[in-house]
């Protein structure tokens, strides 16, 4: 009911916001008593309450739970049977079932700390990270594709591997957070810390044709605010994108101040290598460093060579603007002549274009032409190009000359130079006769640039001379020129204008005897990069660098910070519309929460540290509540995603605060030498409690008073998560691969799931053990998630999922019974029953299969039903040998077992796999 009321209120707020004047906020609604909401007050560790049944209490968790039960006149349930508890804690801590041998070893251990030893061994297992990473991947909206339309693949599995390793290493939640929000900003950031920033690269990316890429980037920033606030603050801050939050103390300004933290971020792909190739890379880098050191040595010969080079330069070039006569676009682009003589393009941006400009001149002895690329506010990213990034590609720069009535002739070029050229897109490509190549300027966009084209010989012009300029732009889609200006010169060697970088040219203009020591050193350092005598060394360095690029590696999406930004800012958007700009705000945290520490640089790193600081009242509470929900099936605050006024109040407020404080500052309850914010330690504390160890059996009294187990008067019992159901099935069957890390895999999936428009991508069944790996490694396509997972309520991961729903549908039972992947595991279980049972009789084999599935021994009535099922199935298959052979295919049974027996045990195995107890944590 609360959700319906909240939805109606939100819709009403949107309607009201449209009626308000632009920028007019909706005031947040205060609580009726004017007090501060409980979740915004920093937790203080409460003392464990006194209880009557002190013998039941194993740690403070139990005191808080029992105090509430005694208040309600209830008693906790008895401890679960050893086999049940063993299976429960295995599934919770490593996501896999125990083997019968592991269960027996635990049951036979009569020492007082047997359960504690079991818990510690599971926390030390490498499978711990795989199990708990599953929860985090939902929060991070992890997927292997971009989403939208084609839903192209992306490489993000390195980030997923980082999460698993971090959890196994018990990286403190503080560091776990900081590296994901701002690992690239840490001093001397490691490759792993940069990979960690992939958390916020898991957003969807819209690659559809015609999409405004700047707006799509802004949508990713909006998603980052919403995800950060839900994951660390338990708050629905996205409500404040359009108006002040109706219920919680977050304003529109708070929302956009948070968004600004990411406005100074770039979104590159980081290349990562394996250990072998990384060793090769380090060796090559060492060799390159030695060679580069030789380039720094001063020698008399090098000084003489530099002096000769300087004397041959001509850097004083006088440029004369052209008087433009006519101009046009081959694709209908509108060109407008501005006061400074430049031409500005507007209108629809074509895929490619050719600009033609004619001008009159009476100069003679023309030696070169200059093309200036100029920025303009009307262009994407300020230009000077018209692509979404502001880049451009000039395919060919051509000039022809006509004097009077004489025939027009083309100008031939000696060379072309520019103040900057994009890697692989040099300015020389603009005069190579091929429009498929050209001159580009990325990443130096949003800046003015210039190129000089020097003629092969002086042009003898004179009166009535017409120059026709042709700027062909066909090298890259929509990378056309946005604003440009043309001029010419009669100075000798005009291309020398860019014979040296812009910072070197002023030094060359100073007489050598008048240069400062700094100027001399800077010039000498530059000359070493072009000195002919050092060409062989430079070539060797280039060769080594090229060999490094050929080393195999993978890319992963990361965040990086744009240089030179002291404090990021952004424009608020009126009513949340990207096109309606409002007040400019600086990066900051919500005003209703404790502020950032004074004196710190305000960037993503400051935000990350603030999120997990003791001053933040929410992060620890939200985290421990999420852990509690994962273990107990229901959070202490049931609305795990919303700790605001519209969320549920905690059922046990003191317990929640104690857990939060224990997480931040562990006591001896967690064990000796436990580090603050240890995820393993808080999980250990929870599963060692008597509350966790209770039987899940429901008494009639509890059924009446607490049907949903909000008081935790019994142990947790609920269906396994989607991935765990498949992992459980593979483990029971003996098929599960323990291979960890690496690219996502493709287990069996029905044909046709990936038959989506606009994409020819196909699901290709992985070979060998890869098809039997854990669900966390399964390829995740947003537009078509793995169907078995979606049947069991896995999300598409288009956005952050804080808690999955748990449904109970016929489709789920049908999936486990009939999905070919589960039929395969049933056959494999049948083989285990035939080969691993203690004896070859029906009861022994049925018992073996039962224990593999649910850990405990079957009751006599259960065993009787299984044997009866086997007998009926065997009789049926004896009558239909063809069906028996088909069912037994691939089982490879022991000698002497006929296909009908194999098929009958496969039926029994299929039933065991589909038991409620098999797919449930009890």
> DSSP assignment of 72-124, as one string?
TT--PPPBPPHHHHHHHHHHHHTSSPPPHHHHHHHHH--STTHHHHHHHHHHT
The pLDDT value given to residue 7: 40
Query: In this model, does residue 513 exceed pLDDT 90?
Result: no
- The band of 210, judged by pLDDT with boundaries at 50, 70 and 90, is confident
Residue-wise pLDDT for 824-848, tens only, equals 999 999 999 999 999 999 999 999 9
Query: In this model, does residue 40 exceed pLDDT 80?
Result: yes
Please tell me the number of Cα atoms within 13 Å of 226 on its side-chain side. 18
Kindly tell me the sign of the dihedral angle through the C-alpha atoms of 780, 782, 787, 788. Answer: positive
- In DSSP notation, 3-46 reads HHHHHHHHHHHHHHHHHSPTTPPPPPPPPTT-PPPGGGSPP-PP
The pLDDT value given to residue 32: 39
Q: Describe the crossing of helices 679-687 and 114-123 by its angle, rounded to 10 degrees.
A: 150
Query: In this model, does residue 682 exceed pLDDT 80?
Result: yes
Residues of the chain above pLDDT 70, percent: 95
Cis? peptide before 384, omega within 30° of 0: yes
Non-local (6+) Cβ contacts of 862 within 8 A are 850
- The band of 622, judged by pLDDT with boundaries at 50, 70 and 90, is very high
Compute CA distances 707 → 567, 712, 917, whole Å: 52, 10, 19
Non-local (6+) Cβ contacts of 201 within 8 A are 156, 159, 267, 557, 558, 559
Query: How far apart are alpha carbons 679 and 675 in whole angstroms?
Result: 10
Residue-wise pLDDT for 291-318, tens only, equals 988 888 888 888 888 888 887 776 567 8
The pLDDT value given to residue 33: 45
- The band of 48, judged by pLDDT with boundaries at 50, 70 and 90, is very high
Query: How far apart are alpha carbons 473 and 352 in whole angstroms?
Result: 6
- The band of 510, judged by pLDDT with boundaries at 50, 70 and 90, is confident
The mean pLDDT value for 198-213 works out to 91
Strand partners, 586: 569
Among 922, 875, 868, 877, residue whose Cα is nearest residue 900: 877
Query: In this model, does residue 5 exceed pLDDT 70?
Result: no
The mean pLDDT value for 179-185 works out to 98
Least confident of 47-56, 492-501, 508-517: 492-501
The pLDDT value given to residue 13: 37
Task: Determine contact, residues 186/178, Cβ cutoff 8 Å.
Answer: yes
Query: How far apart are alpha carbons 617 and 127 in whole angstroms?
Result: 32
Secondary structure element (H or E) that encloses residue 413, with its range: strand 413-418
Would residue 576 be called left, alpha or beta, if left means φ above 0 and alpha means ψ between -120 and 50 degrees? Answer: left
Non-local (6+) Cβ contacts of 736 within 8 A are 96, 727, 730, 772, 773, 774
Residue-wise pLDDT for 136-160, tens only, equals 999 999 999 999 888 999 999 999 9
Please return the burial class of 149, using the count of CB atoms within 10 Å of its CB with bins 0-12, 13-18 and 19+: middle
Cis? peptide before 418, omega within 30° of 0: no
Non-local (6+) Cβ contacts of 330 within 8 A are 353, 354, 355, 356
Task: Determine contact, residues 259/224, Cβ cutoff 8 Å.
Answer: yes
Query: In this model, does residue 8 exceed pLDDT 60?
Result: no
Query: In this model, does residue 4 exceed pLDDT 70?
Result: no
Residues of the chain above pLDDT 90, percent: 74
Query: How far apart are alpha carbons 731 and 107 in whole angstroms?
Result: 21
Q: What are phi and psi of 762, to 5 degrees?
A: -130, 150
Q: What are phi and psi of 657, to 5 degrees?
A: -70, -40
Q: Which residue do the tokens 């060109």 mark?
A: 335
Query: In this model, does residue 243 exceed pLDDT 90?
Result: yes
Residue-wise pLDDT for 750-790, tens only, equals 988 988 767 788 999 999 999 999 999 999 999 999 999 99
Residue-wise pLDDT for 60-75, tens only, equals 999 999 999 999 999 9
Residue-wise pLDDT for 561-605, tens only, equals 998 898 999 999 999 999 999 999 999 999 999 999 998 899 999
Strand partners, 373: 449, 484
Query: CB count, 10 Å around CB of 442?
Result: 17
Least confident of 39-53, 160-174, 309-323: 309-323
- The band of 502, judged by pLDDT with boundaries at 50, 70 and 90, is low
Least confident of 446-450, 524-528, 746-750: 524-528
Q: Which two tokens stand for residue 172?
A: 């403190």
Query: How far apart are alpha carbons 576 and 564 in whole angstroms?
Result: 29
The pLDDT value given to residue 556: 95
Query: CB count, 10 Å around CB of 41?
Result: 11
Task: Determine contact, residues 473/394, Cβ cutoff 8 Å.
Answer: yes
Residue-wise pLDDT for 712-734, tens only, equals 999 999 999 999 999 999 999 99
Angle subtended at Cα 621 by Cα 619 and Cα 626, rounded to the nearest 5 degrees:
95
Task: Determine contact, residues 625/636, Cβ cutoff 8 Å.
Answer: yes
More confidently predicted of 262 and 295: 262
Kindly tell me the sign of the dihedral angle through the C-alpha atoms of 566, 572, 578, 579. Answer: negative
Query: How far apart are alpha carbons 95 and 128 in whole angstroms?
Result: 7
* Alpha helices in 431-534, H assignment, sequence order: 505-508, 517-527
How many residues are given for the chain?
Answer: 922
Task: Determine contact, residues 700/713, Cβ cutoff 8 Å.
Answer: no
More confidently predicted of 1 and 445: 445
The pLDDT value given to residue 2: 40
Q: Which two tokens stand for residue 525?
A: 């350092």
Compute CA distances 19 → 16, 31, 340, whole Å: 5, 25, 45
Q: Describe the crossing of helices 604-611 and 213-233 by its angle, rounded to 10 degrees.
A: 20
The pLDDT value given to residue 316: 65
Strand partners, 393: 440
Strand partners, 709: none
Please return the burial class of 70, using the count of CB atoms within 10 Å of its CB with bins 0-12, 13-18 and 19+: middle
Query: How far apart are alpha carbons 796 and 804 in whole angstroms?
Result: 11
Q: Where are the beta strands (DSSP E) in 703-816?
A: 718-719
Kindly tell me the sign of the dihedral angle through the C-alpha atoms of 246, 251, 254, 256. Answer: positive
Mean residue pLDDT across the chain: 91
Q: Describe the crossing of helices 100-108 and 82-93 by its angle, rounded to 10 degrees.
A: 120
Task: Determine contact, residues 595/589, Cβ cutoff 8 Å.
Answer: yes
Residue-wise pLDDT for 787-813, tens only, equals 999 999 999 999 999 999 999 999 999
Torsion of Cα atoms, 258 then 259 then 263 then 268, to 10°: 110
Query: How far apart are alpha carbons 124 and 170 in whole angstroms?
Result: 10
Non-local (6+) Cβ contacts of 618 within 8 A are 39, 40, 232, 233, 234, 235, 593, 643
* Alpha helices in 245-343, H assignment, sequence order: 252-259, 275-294, 300-311
The pLDDT value given to residue 34: 53
The rounded radius of gyration (Å) of the Cα atoms in the chain is: 35
Residue-wise pLDDT for 116-131, tens only, equals 999 999 999 999 999 9
Task: Determine contact, residues 89/119, Cβ cutoff 8 Å.
Answer: yes
The mean pLDDT value for 440-444 works out to 91
């Amino acid at each position: 009911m609360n959700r319906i009321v909240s939805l109606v209120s939100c819709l009403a707020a949107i309607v009201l916001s449209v009626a308000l004047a632009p920028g007019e906020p909706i005031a947040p609604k205060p609580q009726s008593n004017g007090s501060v909401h409980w979740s915004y007050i920093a937790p203080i560790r409460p003392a464990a309450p006194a209880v009557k049944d002190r013998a039941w209490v194993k740690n403070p968790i139990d005191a808080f739970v029992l105090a509430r039960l005694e208040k309600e006149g209830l008693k906790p349930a008895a401890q679960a049977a050893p086999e049940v508890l063993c299976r429960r804690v295995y599934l919770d801590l490593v996501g896999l079932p125990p083997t019968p041998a592991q269960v027996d070893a635990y049951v036979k251990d009569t020492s007082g700390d047997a359960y504690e030893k079991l818990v510690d061994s599971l926390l030390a297992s490498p499978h711990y990270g795989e199990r708990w990473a599953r929860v985090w991947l939902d929060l991070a909206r992890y997927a292997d594709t971009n989403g939208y339309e084609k839903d192209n693949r992306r490489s993000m599995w390195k980030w997923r591997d980082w999460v698993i390793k971090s959890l196994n290493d018990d990286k403190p939640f503080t560091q776990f957070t900081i590296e994901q929000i701002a690992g690239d900003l840490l001093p001397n950031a490691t490759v792993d810390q940069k990979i960690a920033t992939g958390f916020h690269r898991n957003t969807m990316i819209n690659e559809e044709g015609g999409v405004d890429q700047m707006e799509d980037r802004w949508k990713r920033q909006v998603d980052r605010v919403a995800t950060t606030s839900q994951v660390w603050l338990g708050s629905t801050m996205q409500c404040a994108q359009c108006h002040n939050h109706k219920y919680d103390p977050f304003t529109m300004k708070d929302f956009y101040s948070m968004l600004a933290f990411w406005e100074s971020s770039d979104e590159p792909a980081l290349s990562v290598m394996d250990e072998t190739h990384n060793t090769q890379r380090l060796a090559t880098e060492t060799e390159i460093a030695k060679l580069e050191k030789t380039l720094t040595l001063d020698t008399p010969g090098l000084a003489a060579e530099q002096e000769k080079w300087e004397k041959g330069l001509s850097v004083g070039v006088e440029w004369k603007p052209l008087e433009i006569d006519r101009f046009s676009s081959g694709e209908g682009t509108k060109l407008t002549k501005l006061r400074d003589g430049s031409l500005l393009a507007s209108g629809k941006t074509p895929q490619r274009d050719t600009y033609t400009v004619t001008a009159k001149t009476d100069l003679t002895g023309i030696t070169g032409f200059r093309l200036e690329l100029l920025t303009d506010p009307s262009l994407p990213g300020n230009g000077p190009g018209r692509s979404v990034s502001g880049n451009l590609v000039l395919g060919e720069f051509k000039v022809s000359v006509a004097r009077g009535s004489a025939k027009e002739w083309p100008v031939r070029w000696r060379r072309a130079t520019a103040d900057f050229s994009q890697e692989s897109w040099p300015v020389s490509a603009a005069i190579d006769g091929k429009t498929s190549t050209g001159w580009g300027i990325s990443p130096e966009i949003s800046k003015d640039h210039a190129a000089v084209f020097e003629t092969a010989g002086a042009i003898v012009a004179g009166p009535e001379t017409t120059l026709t300029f042709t700027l062909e732009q066909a090298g890259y889609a929509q990378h056309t020129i946005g604003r440009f200006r043309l001029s010419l010169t009669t100075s000798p060697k005009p291309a020398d204008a860019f014979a040296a970088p812009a910072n070197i040219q002023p030094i060359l203009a100073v007489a050598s005897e008048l240069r400062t020591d700094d100027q001399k050193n800077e010039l000498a350092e530059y000359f070493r990069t072009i000195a002919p005598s050092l060409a062989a060394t430079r070539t060797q360095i280039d060769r080594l660098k090229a060999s490094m690029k050929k080393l195999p590696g993978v890319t992963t999406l990361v965040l990086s910070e744009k240089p030179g930004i002291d404090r990021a800012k952004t424009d608020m958007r009126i009513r949340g519309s990207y096109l309606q700009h409002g007040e400019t705000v600086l990066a900051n945290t919500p005003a209703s929460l404790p502020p950032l520490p004074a004196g710190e640089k305000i960037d993503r790193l400051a935000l990350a540290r603030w999120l997990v600081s003791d001053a933040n009242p929410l992060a620890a509470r939200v985290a421990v509540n999420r852990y509690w929900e994962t273990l107990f099936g229901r959070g202490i605050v049931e609305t795990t995603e919303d700790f605001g006024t519209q969320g549920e109040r905690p059922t046990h407020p003191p317990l929640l605060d104690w857990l939060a404080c224990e997480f931040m500052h562990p006591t001896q309850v967690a064990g000796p030498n436990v580090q603050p914010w240890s995820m393993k330690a808080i999980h250990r504390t929870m599963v060692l409690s008597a509350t966790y160890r209770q039987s899940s059996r429901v008494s009639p009294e509890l059924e009446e008073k607490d049907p949903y187990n909000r008081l935790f008067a019994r142990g947790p019992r609920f269906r396994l998560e989607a991935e765990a159901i498949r992992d459980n099935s593979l483990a029971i069957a003996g098929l599960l691969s323990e291979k960890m890390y690496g690219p996502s895999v493709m287990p069996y999936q029905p044909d046709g799931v990936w038959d989506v428009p606009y994409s020819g991508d196909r699901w290709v069944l992985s070979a060998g053990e890869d098809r039997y790996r854990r669900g966390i490694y399964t390829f995740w396509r947003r537009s078509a998630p793995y169907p078995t997972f979606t049947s069991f309520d896995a999300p598409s991961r288009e956005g952050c999922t804080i808690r999955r729903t748990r449904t109970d549908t016929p489709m789920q039972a049908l999936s486990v019974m009939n999905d070919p992947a589960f039929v395969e595991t049933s056959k494999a279980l049948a083989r285990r029953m035939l080969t691993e049972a203690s004896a070859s009789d029906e009861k022994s084999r049925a018992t073996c299969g039962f224990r593999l599935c649910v850990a405990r021994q079957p009751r006599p009535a259960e065993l009787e039903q299984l044997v009866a099922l086997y007998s009926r199935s065997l009789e049926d298959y004896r009558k239909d040998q063809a069906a028996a052979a088909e069912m037994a295919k691939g089982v490879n049974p022991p000698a002497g077992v006929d296909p009908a027996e194999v098929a009958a045990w496969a039926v029994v195995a299929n039933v065991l796999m589909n038991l409620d107890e098999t797919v449930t944590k009890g």
